[in-house]
Structure 1
């Protein structure tokens, strides 16, 4: 019997004293298996910690032609763009990409990643939500490479691909401040998310460089949906001292804020992090902290494939992708 790694049906057959065919019939739920033999197989499987690999059942034995991608929120086009790019790389190598979403829940992330490891994917791309990733250490030691995307790993050494969140936010706020704005609203997602921490830090650095401080009265957190951002922006615009500009820390907040601004026909500058669909068609000029989301997905998949081929080639690396400020929207001229 093998002394290391995950137990296989061969291990179970040896422990139970039955044929490999019998084990296969039991774990795949086939009928007409002698109850006594089935009980022996089940007992051995439980003792050894063997779990049926549902995906591998449809693939050739021992293959590693699938990759796993655990997103944080598949309703966000940012992650779907990344998934599409990573999938294109995988398909180009004759592989498949399995996609799942943690919905920003640490427990769900752990369940999904460990389940994909149990399915023996060749490697994992993870957008982390959990604050501790030591639970993946054993899987990495068994040979499953992991690349962390958009947010860094915690408690484990692994490859990371990140955006320059702090620099992008700092540039956006510096531009608003240079234009004379001082009462600048800031809409954030959950404040403990790594990207939000970094973007908030960029905001504060821009204010500090101008000799100013952020007005906390117009900073609103937990803007996870466009609806929440729209409601917050509506309240800010209706306040006694409405902001003259707003910075939205992700695309969903930008969409919600834009809805409120257009509905109120408010004269307010809008800048946001992350591009979004139809941004070029909105009826006003907005500034976007932009980057190539597809490049994130491509490079993550390519790095993962490299690790699969040469797991001990180089030490884990952190790659920081740059951002840039771009114009979106269009000025609507009156007819006549």
Structure 2
């Protein structure tokens, strides 16, 4: 039979605290104290209550308990793609922090679609989540203003919010990491370094382009647009980009790839028989599975730390921490494995 919210729990076969009290022969308040681990109940009585709970299969209604406190013990998490290893690592870290806080996490993927992001966020708000962690796909977050004004807490992760209310933000040092990766290739004699990255509309991609350009400028080298390719990652796109780059009169001798998926697509394209070009050095932004076995030098972020810091900041806000919105920037690190150390061949 379908549950009817207007029918008392006892009529639906779910034991209540009153049922436990009757079975144990104690007052309702006594059961409440035992269930909530409060003092004031002697051991013999507590044992009798626990026996009744076990016999009846009673489970505390945490939903009603948190609602009475004005909370739902849940948060919403909006990421780009749950299948992306970077975001799955971030998501798992958020879940771990939420578990310690006695909270559930509702997760949705925006697929880099601003409309989908908005739909997910507002759907979570309609379900009265206590807070939100958002990896933004769009650049206009004015739709969040009424929700934040109503008391919902929000933290943006990996990318800052666009136009709209100020909110806490946790990002990685994208420009600094790309600068270090490019400088590493320069230090090994390369002067024609191509930059392959995600769409220029994405904050992380443009920040990494900025770091690449800063490294070139510091080395006294001009920025050459012919050496730059920015679009959604994929094997076909990587093949086309490499074919174009290797046909240049002065082709690149090194590649800096702007994220994990672009790096993997580029490595597959380099291995394809139709891709003709000289051996090139490769440094990728983002670590990825098997990069250590393949010997790929990377600029590594820590997605788990990113998720953990964002979640901890959110729960501090939910606990009452006040003050202006924070912007936290987490460091990256260069992991040397061989592919970025190939010397320039004369």
2:234 to 191, 210, 225: 225
TM, length-normalised to structure 1: 0.77
Distance in 2 (alpha carbons) for counterparts of 1:204 and 1:236: 18
2:123 to 101, 107, 115: 115
For the 8 Å contact 1:66–1:122, the answer to whether it is kept is yes
Distance in 1 (alpha carbons) for counterparts of 2:138 and 2:232: 20
For the 8 Å contact 1:70–1:102, the answer to whether it is kept is yes
State yes or no: 1:99 paired with 2:107.
yes
Give secondary structure in 2 for the equivalent of 1:60: helix
1:272 to 284, 289, 312: 284
For the 8 Å contact 1:226–1:252, the answer to whether it is kept is no
State yes or no: 1:149 paired with 2:149.
no
- Number of aligned residues: 275
Distance in 1 (alpha carbons) for counterparts of 2:63 and 2:241: 50
Map 1:174-185 → 2, pairs under 5 A: 174-185=183-194
Q: Which residue of 1 aligns with 2:205?
A: 196
2:221 to 207, 212, 219: 212
Spell out, residue by residue over 1:213-237, the C-alpha distance to the aligned partner (whole angstroms, 9 max, x if none). 1221121111333442244224434
For the 8 Å contact 2:234–2:265, the answer to whether it is kept is yes
For the 8 Å contact 2:175–2:209, the answer to whether it is kept is yes
For the 8 Å contact 1:249–1:272, the answer to whether it is kept is yes
For the 8 Å contact 1:72–1:103, the answer to whether it is kept is yes
Q: Structure 1, unaligned stretches of length 5 or more?
A: 1-21, 26-56, 332-336
2:168 to 140, 156, 159: 159
1:253 to 243, 248, 262: 262
Spell out, residue by residue over 1:242-295, the C-alpha distance to the aligned partner (whole angstroms, 9 max, x if none). 31000101111100111122345851100111111111111xx43201122100
Q: Structure 2, unaligned stretches of length 5 or more?
A: 7-60, 341-346
1:129 is displaced (CA, Å) by: 1.4
